[in-house]
Structure 1
Amino acid sequence: MDWKLFIARRIYKNKEEGERNVSKPAVRIAIAGIAIGLAVMIISVAVVIGFKHEVRDKVIGLGSDILITSLDEVQSYQVTPIVGDDSLMSVLGAMPGVRHVQRYATKPGMIMTSDNFQGIVLKGVSQEYDLTFLKRHLLEGEIPAFADSVSSFQVLVSKTIADKLGVKVGDKLSTYYVENNIRARRLTVAGIYQTNFSSYDDLFLLTDLRTVVRLNNWKEGQVGGLEVSVSDYARLNETNEQMLSFFYGKTDRYGGKYYSQTVEEVYPQIFAWLGLLDVNVWVILILMVGVAGFTMISGLLIIILERTNMIGILKALGADNTSVRKVFLMLAVFLIRKGMVWGNVLALTCCALQHFFHLIKLDPAVYYIDAVPVELNVGVWLLLNVGTLAVSVLMLVGPSYLISRILPARSIRFE
Structure 2
Amino acid sequence: MFRPLELFIGLRYTRAKRRNQFISFISSVSIVCITISVMALITVMSVMNGFDYQLRSRILGAISDATVSGLPGESVQNWQHAMDVVRANQHVKGAAPYVEIQSFLQAQRSGGAMVRGIDTAQEPNVSDINKHIIAGSFDSLTPDSWNIVLGRDLAVQLGVNVGDRVTMVVPELRATPMGAVPRIRGFKVSGIFELGMEEFDSGLGVINISDAEKLKSIDGPTGIRLRLDDLYNAGPVARELANNLGQVYEVTTWMDSHANFFSAISMEKKVMFIILSLIILVAVINLISMLMMLVTDKQADIAILRTLGSTPRSIMGMFMVQGVLVGVVGIGFGVTLGSLLSWQLPGIVKWIEHVTGVVFLSPDVYYISEVPSKLDWHDVTWVALVTFAFSLLATLYPAWRASRTQPAQALRYE
Cα 1:358–1:96 shift into 2, 3 Å: farther
The answer on whether the counterparts of 2:320 and 2:392 sit within 8 Å (CA) in structure 1 is yes
Residue in structure 1 matched with residue 64 of structure 2 by the alignment: 64
The secondary structure found in structure 2 opposite 1:349 is helix
Cα 1:410–1:326 shift into 2, 3 Å: same
Does residue 157 (structure 1) correspond to residue 150 (structure 2)? The answer is yes
What does the per-residue CA deviation read over 1:21-57, in whole Å, with 9 as the maximum and x for residues that have no partner?
2202211221122112212221222222222222222
Does residue 105 (structure 1) correspond to residue 104 (structure 2)? The answer is no
Q: Distance in 2 between matches of 1:272 and 1:341?
A: 32
Does residue 207 (structure 1) correspond to residue 234 (structure 2)? The answer is no
What does the per-residue CA deviation read over 1:212-267, in whole Å, with 9 as the maximum and x for residues that have no partner?
11101002xx2121111111223221111112212333xxxxxxx21111211123
Q: Distance in 2 between matches of 1:305 and 1:125?
A: 77
Amino acid at match of 2:389: A
The secondary structure found in structure 2 opposite 1:139 is strand
The secondary structure found in structure 2 opposite 1:108 is strand
Amino acid at match of 2:224: L
The answer on whether the counterparts of 1:64 and 1:227 sit within 8 Å (CA) in structure 2 is yes
Amino acid at match of 1:88: A
Amino acid at match of 2:66: I
Equivalent residues in 2 for 1:7-406, closer than 5 Å: 7-14=9-16, 21-70=21-70, 72-73=71-72, 79-83=73-77, 85-113=79-107, 115-126=108-119, 127-130=121-124, 133-146=128-141, 150-179=143-172, 180=174, 181-219=181-219, 222-249=220-247, 257-356=248-347, 358-359=349-350, 361-364=360-363, 367-406=366-405
The secondary structure found in structure 1 opposite 2:336 is helix
What does the per-residue CA deviation read over 1:82-126, in whole Å, with 9 as the maximum and x for residues that have no partner?
13644421320121322211111122222222x422222221111
Q: Distance in 2 between matches of 1:325 and 1:414?
A: 24
Amino acid at match of 1:165: L
Cα 1:409–1:200 shift into 2, 3 Å: same
The secondary structure found in structure 2 opposite 1:22 is helix
- What residue ranges of structure 1 are gaps of 5+ in the alignment? 74-78, 250-256
- What residue ranges of structure 2 are gaps of 5+ in the alignment? 175-180, 351-358
| TM-aligned CA deviation for residue 9 of structure 1 | 1.7
Which deviates more, 33-42 or 171-180?
A: 171-180
Q: Distance in 1 between matches of 2:36 and 2:366?
A: 27
| TM-aligned CA deviation for residue 364 of structure 1 | 4.8
Cα 1:152–1:20 shift into 2, 3 Å: farther
Amino acid at match of 2:43: I
| TM-aligned CA deviation for residue 346 of structure 1 | 2.5
Amino acid at match of 1:192: I
Amino acid at match of 2:83: M
Q: Distance in 1 between matches of 2:312 and 2:250?
A: 69
Q: Distance in 1 between matches of 2:218 and 2:33?
A: 66
Q: Distance in 2 between matches of 1:154 and 1:274?
A: 38
The answer on whether the counterparts of 1:144 and 1:154 sit within 8 Å (CA) in structure 2 is no
Residue in structure 2 matched with residue 254 of structure 1 by the alignment: none
Q: What TM-score do the two structures reach when normalised by structure 2?
A: 0.87
What does the per-residue CA deviation read over 1:355-414, in whole Å, with 9 as the maximum and x for residues that have no partner?
445548434566522223222122221232123213321332233210123222332456
Amino acid at match of 2:314: S
Q: Distance in 2 between matches of 1:270 and 1:365?
A: 20
Cα 1:248–1:25 shift into 2, 3 Å: same
Q: Distance in 2 between matches of 1:389 and 1:128?
A: 51
Amino acid at match of 2:7: L
Q: Distance in 2 between matches of 1:145 and 1:85?
A: 25
Amino acid at match of 1:212: A
The answer on whether the counterparts of 1:143 and 1:156 sit within 8 Å (CA) in structure 2 is yes
Amino acid at match of 1:45: M
Residue in structure 2 matched with residue 252 of structure 1 by the alignment: none
Q: Distance in 2 between matches of 1:269 and 1:59?
A: 13
The answer on whether the counterparts of 1:144 and 1:155 sit within 8 Å (CA) in structure 2 is no
Amino acid at match of 2:138: I
Q: Distance in 2 between matches of 1:363 and 1:272?
A: 24
Q: Distance in 2 between matches of 1:298 and 1:406?
A: 18
The answer on whether the counterparts of 2:82 and 2:245 sit within 8 Å (CA) in structure 1 is no
Cα 1:138–1:408 shift into 2, 3 Å: farther
Q: Distance in 1 between matches of 2:102 and 2:160?
A: 20
